[in-house]
Structure 1
Amino acid sequence: MRRHIAAIRESGPGPATGPTRRRPARGALAAAAVLAVVTGCTAQAADLPSSGADGKPGGSPPVARSSPPAPRPTPTVEPTRQASPDATPERTREKTAEPTPTPSAAPPEVLLARGSQGVKVRRLQARLAQIGWFHTAPTGVYGRLTAAAVEGFQGRRGLPVTGDTDTVTWQRLLGMTTRPTEAELTGKPADKPQPKLDPRCTTGRVMCVSKTSRTLSWVVNGTVRASMDVRFGSEYTPTREGVFSVFLKSKDHVSSLYDTPMPYAMFFSGGQAVHYSSDFAASGYNGASHGCVNVRDRKAVAALFSEVRDGDKVVIHW
């Protein structure tokens, strides 16, 4: 028994009974791994050591050749720009620049206030009268009535309500009014020329509306009983021209199409009517209607509403 064991030790392991798969040499695996990393791909079968048909190595394991490293691109050197001695790089300026404090907006300058007197106050009062905020003849004295008119004007336009006429208030008023005439400055409405009547307005009871003078005249048998400023629709929603008649009066009407109030509405053509407009009173001719004849003097149109009857004529002309 001992002799048999010794013989085995001396002779080494016997021949394999079948094909034996041997592990590749450690150096070969390392070389394959290096090749895989260099090429960026997974190691393929050709990169592993080959074996013979009997399972033994078919020669020395192939030596993996390391791919030479890809040449690094040579950076393109841009020509150096000659900077002026006082020039500072952008990054340096960002770090060293001191933050510039933002100046606070200065309050508007007050031009006229309580106690002011003179022609400038008279012009202010005349312009306020043009848009229905000053209801007496200009006096040239900035008193309680003038301050109240300015406060109303400021509040309607979202300005600080101070009662003083500052630069912002004055510029807004200039944009909504025209230069006062001598008659307006002196408070003599009789000197204001009356609009020329269209021949169709000289008989019967007529609301005679002129697009040229932008006025509505209430005329009874050729006599003008009242006149008021009006505005019309835009070019996309024009006010119709021609001869119509009032077919519906609605004192507290609200538009079902635009959901806006139309007080003292007097309908003459479809959905178009003569009515009071708070927007006209606030914005003047900066805006437009959707086709109606807007009146900005609420008292005047209320008085007109009480006199006009169904069937009265409406003439709209140039």
Structure 2
Amino acid sequence: MKRTLPALLVCASLLVVAGPPAVAAAPSPVSRAVPEPVSYPDADLVPGLSRALRAAEQETPGRAPARGQQRHTEYVPRSEAVRHSPGPVACSRSTGPYQRQAERYLGREVDGRQSTGDCRAIRRFQQAHRIAPASGFAGPVTGAMVRLMRAKKDPNRAGHCPDRPERTVCADLNRQLLWVQQDGRVIFDPVVMRSGAPTMETRTGTYRIYLRHRHHISNLYHTSMPFAQFFDRGEALHAVYDDIYQGPGSHGCINLTWGDAQKLWELLKKQDVVYVWGRKPSV
């Protein structure tokens, strides 16, 4: 895949003695790129929390962010947001883009139409997975959570990730999921990831981890990249502080939640394989 000069410079500047000459140093943009729907977070979601956590990490790079279950903000149509705000969240009348996927997973009639029963079932699913607002609208975040839950049993059912005797990180850009397998056995269950944004796509192929830096700081953006594990000319697996479901994507790196990135850090070593395939969906 050809990359423009700015794209190649996104994650590069730290020289190493062996391996590729440059190291990724690009955090993920946090701007949101959904033109028509708007997010409708619950009142207890604090604006600016991501920035505050980043600042704290840069001041004390060994300190983990605040613990606790993070809520994931769903995108809902503007008409739904206006109808709900500022009162309690009501059941959505709209049919979301992932209605059929949600119906199939939840054992509902797969007709792609929102019914009262569908909305209640989707709301319960959203509440169980801390998706806000839990309005029953099957938007992108709900769709991504459905994909994750469906992949839990057998993430490599389609056989895209090769079976190897060594630890292999499987990064599925199509589903935006990541897991680790060895000898055909999953040793790290699938988790949600966030790959490169349009024009900054994560490169596909087979790589090996060549550098690990627990408290890496971006040389270009001066932003923390916790648990950074570099695998290709500066592209790395690393944690982010903002909601993993938000924003158009990274500058090419593979983003993970703090907890998932920490567990992956404890599991992987240098020279472990990273296999990336597919293409990030446009929606």
After TM superposition, the score normalised by the length of structure 1 is 0.44
Who wins on radius of gyration, i.e. which is larger?
1
Higher helix content, 1 or 2:
1
Higher relative contact order (CA 8 A, sep 6+): 2
After TM superposition, the score normalised by the length of structure 2 is 0.49
